[in-house]
Copies of this chain bind each other. A is one copy, B any other.
Amino acid sequence: MVDNISDTAAAPTSPGAGTWTHGRTGVWFIGARGSVATTATIGIHALAAELVPPTGCTTTSAAFAGVPLPAFADLVIGGHDISTSPLTKKAEALADAGMIPPRIVSAVQDGLVATEAELRPAYDQRTSTTSQRAEIDRLAADITDFKTRHGLARVIVVDIASTEPILADAPEFHDRELLEAALADPARTVLPASSLTALAAITAGSPFVSFTPSPGLNLPVLIELATEAGLPFAGQDGKTGETLLRSVLAPMFTARGMKVLSWAGTNLLGGGDGATLADPEAVRSKLASKNRGLHDLLGDDVVTPLHIDNVPDLGDVKTAWDHVHAEGFLSSRMTLQTTWSGYDSALAAPLIIDLARLMALAHAAGTSGPVAELAFFFKDPWGSDVHGFADQTTILTDWAHRTGRQL
């Protein structure tokens, strides 16, 4: 890791972005003390101070020139987390792991301390002693209070907490009254944490981004409530590595008329996410989310074995191996292998910053419901069945310009 702070200090952080006159934006992280949120927090402070270039961000590229988006310096960070471990300690660990240059972490110490003051206890099912309704109200109040204290135009809630297991359906997920009754009952825990959090965001009038495969806002009753409240929301499961690669490569085979027979994948990762996904139940939702796009792009006949292994010694480095077997002209066979290796949090963090800026745009423009045009960022995009990356790229930039003109 070469430190290029000095080389790039003068780089404009948002080249050619349009003027934004719609107030300051709050970014509220669910899982605010995790690796991804800490990396995003360090990044926002460093970008605001123009200490680093916005490498890895999409919304600062020439394709977004003229689109009005909040400046990095106008983003204010807060969040919920179950953990109480200090943000500065987590930041040090990321520097020790070789992911972030130590001097960047040092340079944003004040920012980290300021963000620390904005973090609040998350909902924790294991320790909660009240009804879920009371928890929702408490979380919503945290967000509203944050918004008021800082005079923010809006607060974008981004869920980057640990992946939850696949959720069995329930009548309460389809009926507001049934849901409210269950929420009011202290003896029941009808919503998983991610959905409870999404409902708190809706209650606080916040746009919601689901960067994990957890259920989150993706329950019929919550979709209805968010849409009625005139809120935009987007998900699901950030497309940071292997799936990104697949969404680029699969359309190549299609365009060239090759028939993909199998696409096998193995993911090795440590860190918190590795440990979470070591749970066979939690991993099922992740695997389902990862394979959906592949089948959509290549057909249901493709054989797609897929594994996620917890390898603690790899820390935050994620390594994915894919093996593609395809048939070409006159039944001839070909294979493609890819090995992608990178720091999971560093791949995710800039996407989250992009999403916060774009959701601010969507909200300012009065967009309501799932923002399908953000499929570019997700493994399993809400409201969209476009999985090819090039198509997603075009759709995203067209939408950004179109929406920007509505402001």
Give me the interface of A with B, judged by CB distance under 8 Å.
1-4, 39, 42-43, 46, 52, 54-58, 60-61, 63, 96-102, 104, 244-245, 248-249, 251-252, 254-259, 261-262, 264, 266, 268, 303, 305, 307, 309-315, 319, 321, 323, 325, 327-343, 346-347, 349-350, 376, 388-391, 393
Contact = CB atoms under 8 A, between A and B. Distances in A.
B257 A314 contact: no
A274 to B, nearest CB: 10
B314 A56 contact: no
A49 B335 CA distance: 28
Contacts of A251: 248, 390, 393
Contact of A3 (B331, B376, B389): B331
From DSSP, what is the main secondary structure of chain A's interface residues?
Answer: mixed
A327 B1 CA distance: 9
8 nearest CB pairs, A to B: A390-B390, A334-B342, A332-B346, A56-B329, A98-B98, A261-B313, A305-B309, A56-B328
Nearest to A42: B330
Contacts of A393: 251, 255, 390
A2 B329 contact: no
A57 B307 CA distance: 33
Given A96-B3, A303-B311, A337 B335 contact: no
B342 A328 contact: yes
Contact of A335 (B43, B303, B341): B341
A307 B248 CA distance: 25
Contacts of A330: 39, 42-43, 46, 52, 55-56, 99-101, 104, 346, 349
Given A311-B305, A336-B340, A337-B339, A327 B55 contact: yes
Nearest to A388: B390
Contacts of A337: 321, 337-339
A64 to B, nearest CB: 10
B350 A342 contact: no
Given A55-B258, A58-B255, A323 B321 contact: yes
A225 to B, nearest CB: 33
A350 B268 contact: no
Nearest to A377: B256
A257 B261 CA distance: 32
A248 B244 contact: no
